[in-house]
Chain A
Amino acid sequence: MSRINIEITLGALLVLFTSIFIVIYGFKEPQRMQEFELHQEAQAIEVGADLFNNNCVGCHGTQGEGVPGLAPALNDRYFFDQRIKDLGWSSSLEDYIVATVSSGRVVSTRPEYVGGGAPAMPAWSEQYGGPLRVDQVRSIAAFIMNWEPTAPDRGAATPMAGPPVGTDITVELPEGNPTNGEALATSQGCTGCHVLTDTGPAWAASANELGIGDRAAQRFTQADYTGSATTPEQYLLESIVAPGEYIVPGFETVLMPATYGQSLTAQDAADIIAYMLTIK
């Protein structure tokens, strides 16, 4: 055989093998594409978990259990079974999540949470001026949707033990219990915003700040004070139920919801204030 014959034969064989390889590869394609999609979904959930951890836990809780008075539970049967029916949302729950996370909420649909006319959920998508890209919003939705199979029934919010304390700070408060106040302060989601650091929550004393008890005793006597409190107790009550009356310089951009006058009883408020005053 001449070199030409050999090359033609070998070349033909190589072309044949290459074609067979391509056909064999093709048989595995549907499975490969399916697996790739599965990996993509898993990755979206992982990325979403990370984003949720960095952006959402402050108001919705580390496990999506919600923070009373601040933001509703997401890891909740009601959210998966009933929420979009109650709203009359015609598309899927996942799209509802994407829409809500993207554009936020101008007015809360559930007044027991943040709202009462104030913006509730901020917009997160960069299309609406938020910090996240569209794909990141979708990842968060994928993560939240992954709670669906296991979401517990958290029931309705527990009814309040008495009438709300209201926004009048001159009201006579009952005797407060500091221990009970501490439990309330750490369970009502206060630490979601009043961040818990290594040295304790934001109301504890730190290197450059007094404890909240001493702060309260000083603030209402300062010249720039704009509220109407005349005692430390009143100052603290005002800060909780009417936070807009006086804003400590430097905190103008982070607004505390003005709804606690409706969601706390007089006893609750008294307990929290008693606890706060013990922190010097």
Chain B
Amino acid sequence: MSGEAFFLPADKGYRFCLFTPAVGRVEKAALIYIHPFAEELNKTRRMVALQVRALAESGYSVLQIDLFGCGDSSGDFGDTTWETWGQDVALAFQHLRQRTRVPIWLWGLRAGCLIDGVSAPSLPEKVNLLFWQPILSGKVLLQQFLRLGQAGALMDEAGAKGTGSRLRAELAAGRSIEIAGYRLSPALAESLEKAVLVPAGGGDVSLIWIDVVRREVADISSATTAQLANWASTGLRVEYQTVLGPAFWQTTEIEIAPALLDRTLATLEKAA
């Protein structure tokens, strides 16, 4: 099994894609994978590669796309807009639809889930969703970015007190800020601040949401419970699961969560 790497012509350049076809004769479904951002993108490559391989071997094709300004695609992160990323998802969808007639899933990790969720309603057909440890609020995503900036400032002698407010003030003044080597434009920050995910369901589609936890927890957080109810109320079939494993998107060393790989496949097999 090998992936096919190619560049899709797009607005403002091209997007790097990797298509891994289902092994064997039966293609059960096809997934479009949307990555998380900044350092999380690098930390999670291994887990995603492992999952893609396991999926392909079980009859699922996967199209991975690097969004504008990310990975090997055109553009600079600092020049991206929220709308461009949405168009990239639509582009990936069009491309995948030309290749296959099977049901399509949008699979996201962390911030990728937010982009999936926001993009799904404007696609020409209903799609299924697979969320890994989702960040579903643009506000939270922006806060994580700013925190990374603050944490970076901790490393400089002076300490980070006030860094958060300083970064926010820069953005408010219409200036880009640089965090961990990524330039965050005031336009993107503003879009993130406002990005609210409005679940759109209906039709014969599913949402699978899997969180990775460090230990068994009795209760689902109230924020997650509310989100799940919100999605279910749109008529979507909602399946929420937790698996034990390391927070591989942020651990210092590249780690894997084998339970997530197995559970994802098992849950997809039931839903697809």
**Chains A and B belong together in one complex:** no
* A contact set with B: CB distance below 8 Å: none
* B contact set with A: CB distance below 8 Å: none
